[in-house]
Amino acid sequence: MKNLVSIFGGHDANVSFYHTDKNKYYSIEIERLVQKRYFRLHVDNDAASQFRILNECQKIAEERWGIKNDYEAVLICSDGFVEIDPTQVFNTEKVTTVARHHQTHASAAFYMSPFKEALIVSYDGGGDDGHFNVYSGNSEGITLLDDITSDFGGGYLLCGSLVREVAEKSRHQLALAGKLMGLCGYGKPIEKHVPAFHEFFFDRDYRKLAFLTKLPFKNIDNPWKNPLDNWIFEGQEAYDIAATAQEGFERAFFSVLNRYDTDIPLILTGGCALNVLVNEKVKEVYNRPLYVPPNPHDGSLSLGHLFLYKKPDHQVDITYAGLPLTDYDELETYIDKYSATKVNKRDIAQLLKDGKILGLVYGDSEVGPRALGNRSIVCDPNIADMKDILNSKVKFREWYRPFAPFCKKEDAHKYFDSPNFENLEYMSYAPRVKVDTLPSITHVDGTARLQTVTEDSHKEFYELLTEFGKISDTNVLLNTSFNIRGYPILSSIKDALYALNNTQMDYVVIDDYLFEK
Ligand SMILES: [Fe+2]
């Protein structure tokens, strides 16, 4: 069999590759390559740009991963099409589509999970086969059980659009949901409105929500025209609306999930599986194995399509098989230019202990929206006010958004409270923080979006924690995404050093080389 390549052209566009000889998978999220968040390939770009981007993906795949331009087929997702003829980029005689949106989500998550059999929920703002689909996954493949009429993703986005501090800080409507989730910790659910919000996630009837709650919504006839203009709430009232939306979301979610058998493992995917508050509650409510992949959003669709075309014969770990540094071959030149010196993990741990803020870059990128150690900014959350220092010097984030901690998996129980510490490698849950010495990573609701680390999951972070633990009583560090302000997670040495020189970040480490300003 020859190699396979798969393209999803919708928002969070991505291209995945299967190297047949190595039996390995790789995935490029195009937003990282072009440095535009939520990038869509199939619109907003002329044909020349689409050719250029796909040619660039093939060049990277060939040079970095040894994937020859000789394919059995190129797969095109059914609702993430491309407007150009892909055979002009990828050498193949076959262009095909074998599955639709949520089936593809379900497949991506199932074959990344450790389970042989699972109930799979895929829910988001919609695809060409529904909004909230429930599947069974087993040795036979993926089978649709139910297609629930709803729009949890679109509904949650619209709830975010009601809040000034969310809408005004979002450059793109797809940024609304994540910000709303951060803000809702500051509010309390307004109980009398919760049932109306609960219903809203099923019918997404904006006018009806306004009528039932008697809240003064604007743009009532077309809230989708410009969601960033819908906001009407601010201050504490807005935080309470945010909390009410989250509460309604959770109750709506469990009203569906409670219908299913709870004996077999559960997988959550689709963009809504980025809601760490729901994920944590699922862990608390159901005593069953649970898996959320690192990339439940549309960034995993091309990969899921590959799995449906050719079923994997092993559990696929794609976590750190993303876009390589695009200028990696210039590393030596940069080392010379900056007189960069080699450092070990003990040196890095000491710099962190001294209060320094470091950008760390290792290997190929992590997949998914969260930095998981290969493109991360790291500092010591044991230092008082570290959140404010990080925000004022480097990140400039909204005040209400929390920063995430990471610690060794075997240490997690010392600092965090959770029914178990499985599947925490991707920041997909929000366990409670048990200690009061880590305010920089403790959200206002007492939770943290923890990433646990093992030697297998992230060797560099594990070694760093081993050294940091020798000089710190609390062996927890802070991890946030390494990007240039307003841009996606960065993908070049050039951008990493631009960030070093244009913020008050102290150092950048690339492949064990320490770069100073
Ligand atoms: Fe999706």
237 alpha carbon – ligand 1 mean position (Å): 31
Tell me, what's the pLDDT at 287? 86
Rounded Cα–Cα distance for residues 198 and 430 (Å) = 22
125 alpha carbon – ligand 1 mean position (Å): 7
Tell me, what's the pLDDT at 359? 98
Q: Are strands 266-269 and 118-127 parallel, antiparallel or unpaired?
A: parallel
10 alpha carbon – ligand 1 mean position (Å): 9
101 alpha carbon – ligand 1 mean position (Å): 6
124 alpha carbon – ligand 1 mean position (Å): 5
Q: Please, are residues 412 and 424 in contact by the beta-carbon 8 Å criterion?
A: yes
Residue type, position 170, single letter: S
Q: Name the E strands within 128-263.
A: 130-138, 141-147
133 alpha carbon – ligand 1 mean position (Å): 11
Secondary structure letter of residue 325 according to DSSP: P
135 alpha carbon – ligand 1 mean position (Å): 15
Q: Please, are residues 491 and 57 in contact by the beta-carbon 8 Å criterion?
A: no
127 alpha carbon – ligand 1 mean position (Å): 6
Q: Please, are residues 98 and 309 in contact by the beta-carbon 8 Å criterion?
A: yes
Rounded Cα–Cα distance for residues 272 and 281 (Å) = 14
Q: What does the block give as tokens for 483?
A: 């990007």
Please state the separation of Cα 217 from the chain's center in Å.
30
Secondary structure letter of residue 391 according to DSSP: I
178 alpha carbon – ligand 1 mean position (Å): 15
Please state the separation of Cα 28 from the chain's center in Å.
14
Rounded Cα–Cα distance for residues 224 and 387 (Å) = 34
Tell me, what's the pLDDT at 170? 86
CA-CA-CA-CA dihedral for 367, 371, 374, 380, to nearest 10: -160
Rounded Cα–Cα distance for residues 350 and 48 (Å) = 49
Tell me, what's the pLDDT at 42? 82
Q: What does the block give as tokens for 7?
A: 């393209």
214 alpha carbon – ligand 1 mean position (Å): 32
94 alpha carbon – ligand 1 mean position (Å): 25
63 alpha carbon – ligand 1 mean position (Å): 30
pLDDT digits (tens, 9 = 90+) for 415-473: 999 999 999 999 999 999 999 999 999 999 999 999 999 999 999 999 999 999 999 99
Give the Cα-Cα-Cα angle 167, 171, 175 (nearest 5 degrees).
70
Burial class (CB in 10 A: 0-12, 13-18, 19+), 370: buried
Residue with tokens 């060797």: 459
235 alpha carbon – ligand 1 mean position (Å): 32
Among the listed ranges 141-145, 170-174, 222-226, 417-421, which one has the minimum average pLDDT value? Answer: 170-174
335 alpha carbon – ligand 1 mean position (Å): 41
298 alpha carbon – ligand 1 mean position (Å): 5
369 alpha carbon – ligand 1 mean position (Å): 14
434 alpha carbon – ligand 1 mean position (Å): 34
131 alpha carbon – ligand 1 mean position (Å): 8
Q: What does the block give as tokens for 238?
A: 């807005």
489 alpha carbon – ligand 1 mean position (Å): 20
Residue with tokens 């913020």: 503
Q: Are strands 507-510 and 513-516 parallel, antiparallel or unpaired?
A: antiparallel
Tell me, what's the pLDDT at 154? 96
Tell me, what's the pLDDT at 376? 98
Cβ neighbours for 211, distance < 8 A, ≥ 6 positions apart: none
Helices 101-112 and 301-309 pack at an angle, to 10 degrees, of: 80
Tell me, what's the pLDDT at 398? 87
Secondary structure letter of residue 401 according to DSSP: P
80 alpha carbon – ligand 1 mean position (Å): 10
273 alpha carbon – ligand 1 mean position (Å): 10
Q: Please, are residues 319 and 291 in contact by the beta-carbon 8 Å criterion?
A: no
User: Which element (helix H / strand E) includes 301?
Assistant: helix 301-309
Q: Please, are residues 488 and 377 in contact by the beta-carbon 8 Å criterion?
A: no
100 alpha carbon – ligand 1 mean position (Å): 10
Model pTM score = 0.97
